Chain A
Amino acid sequence: MKKLVFFISLALIFVLPALAAEEAGLIKVSRGMVSIERSGQKTAASAGMTVFVGDKIITGDDGSVGITLKDNTLLSAGPLSTIVLNQFAFNSSTLTGAIEASIKRGTLSVVSGKIAKNSPDAVKFHTPAAILGLRGTEFVIDAGSGEEK
């Protein structure tokens, strides 16, 4: 049993760095109650904090949050919103990459950035009922069919 624990710990030591999430952007605006859920841990979010791939961003009933991703994509959410950044990859030399985000509930505004310009097919936004693809775009989403989970 001890041996098993040891080997699992050893495996985790090697696997965890590989799973270490990539930096995707920065919170620039944070008003009211805003939090980030990262690997199961929920912490209060404030302006100046880094957003990582896999982060779930949650706003309270008085909350709103604005995020600038590394490719200049702007994401901002209104109150009572839950947004998950499922995927973000950006090559600052070729200006290509991929973005995948989900809005589980609430409102989200998007100003697309360099990835949408250079690899538009690699940009996807999911709502509970739809998948959005874009071509050089500004838009807003209300996930009205979503439920608190």
Chain B
Amino acid sequence: MRARLVLILVALIVISGCAGYDRVVLLPDKNLRSSALVVNSAQGEAVLDQPYKAADVYSTGRIETKELDPEAVNRQFGAALSAQPPRPTSFILYFIEGTNELTPESLPMLEQIKSELKQRAFPEIVIIGHTDSLGSPDYNDALSLSRAEAIRKIVQQAGISALSIDVAGRGSREKLIQTKEGVSEPLNRRVEISVR
């Protein structure tokens, strides 16, 4: 058994050592943010500012830049890329004024959110409630928390085995739409669900 292990390790050195350089490839940003990588070595610097631009950095510090295509990236990095966890995402649900009841428009979204949450392994969920600026700060703190708790209950009853569910109410401090005090604003009466 021990001999076999040693053999495998020797093979690894050959496999990983044979390339002799580190390769870095910039990928297209799925959220369409503009992105760039700065690659520094003992001998210089290269900037990767286009998708599929690659830098090969040798142990001497020499950097070679080149253009790869998606197929080449998949051949080399397919296993790493396919192990990527699902992207963190978030949802917003809206509420009827002064209540912790969802608006008729938001109700159907629940099913979509539940099925999205069910697809994830060990999801970590954060549920944050908000209000519009009608009412006192104390009232809004309580209402925002009660909205978040209502959604927590729904998520728990849906049989989603979340690793953690954090719940908080922020009152009207974090308005989606900026308003003066005492303004009824449907878009501010909401719960944000973030999952990662």
List CB contacts (< 8 Å) of A91-149 with chain B: 105-109, 111-113, 117, 127-148
Min C-beta distance of B85 to chain A, whole Å: 4
CB-CB under 8 A for A147 and B16, given A129-B22, A142-B77: yes
Number of A-B residue pairs having CB atoms within 8 Å of each other in the complex: 184
Q: In the docked arrangement, what's the CA distance between A112 and B78, Å? A: 18
Residues B41 and A130 in contact, CB atoms below 8 Å apart: yes
Please classify how large the interface on chain B is, using the bins under 10, 10 to 19, 20 to 34, 35 or more.
Answer: 35 or more
Q: Does B124 contact A (CB under 8 A)?
A: yes
List CB contacts (< 8 Å) of B142-176 with chain A: 163
User: What residues on A are CB-neighbors of B196 within 8 Å?
Assistant: 68, 70, 72
User: What residues on A are CB-neighbors of B9 within 8 Å?
Assistant: 148
Q: In the docked arrangement, what's the CA distance between A128 and B42, Å? A: 11
Residues B87 and A74 in contact, CB atoms below 8 Å apart: yes
Residues B41 and A26 in contact, CB atoms below 8 Å apart: no
Residues A76 and B37 in contact, CB atoms below 8 Å apart: no
Q: In the docked arrangement, what's the CA distance between A81 and B16, Å? A: 9
User: What residues on A are CB-neighbors of B57 within 8 Å?
Assistant: 127, 129-130, 145
Q: Does A29 contact B (CB under 8 A)?
A: yes
Residues A142 and B40 in contact, CB atoms below 8 Å apart: no
Residues B80 and A129 in contact, CB atoms below 8 Å apart: no
Q: Does B92 contact A (CB under 8 A)?
A: no
User: What residues on B are CB-neighbors of A31 within 8 Å?
Assistant: 83
User: What residues on A are CB-neighbors of B84 within 8 Å?
Assistant: 29, 66, 74, 76, 109, 111
Q: Does B134 contact A (CB under 8 A)?
A: no
User: What residues on A are CB-neighbors of B73 within 8 Å?
Assistant: 140
Min C-beta distance of A17 to chain B, whole Å: 23
Residues B22 and A29 in contact, CB atoms below 8 Å apart: no
User: What residues on A are CB-neighbors of B26 within 8 Å?
Assistant: 137-139
Residue of chain A at shortest CB distance from B17: A147
CB-CB under 8 A for A135 and B36, given A64-B80, A148-B16: yes
Residue of chain A at shortest CB distance from B20: A145
CB-CB under 8 A for A129 and B124, given A76-B85, A145-B58: no
Mask, B10-34, CB within 8 Å of A = 1, is 0011011111111111111110011
Residues A143 and B16 in contact, CB atoms below 8 Å apart: yes
Q: Does B96 contact A (CB under 8 A)?
A: no
CB-CB under 8 A for A134 and B36, given A74-B85, A107-B80: yes
Q: In the docked arrangement, what's the CA distance between A28 and B19, Å? A: 30
Instruction: Please pick, from B20, B29, B61, B82, the residue contacting A138 in the complex, using a CB distance under 8 A.
Output: B29
Residues B39 and A130 in contact, CB atoms below 8 Å apart: yes
Interface residues of B (CB under 8 A from A): 8-9, 12-13, 15-30, 33-42, 48, 55, 57-59, 61, 63, 73, 76-88, 120-122, 124, 163, 196
20 contacts between A and B (CB under 8 A): A31-B83, A66-B85, A76-B80, A80-B15, A105-B16, A109-B77, A111-B84, A127-B24, A128-B59, A129-B22, A130-B24, A132-B24, A133-B37, A135-B35, A135-B37, A138-B28, A138-B35, A140-B27, A145-B19, A145-B59
The 7 closest A-B pairs by CB, nearest first: A144-B19, A78-B79, A28-B85, A78-B80, A64-B83, A127-B22, A137-B35
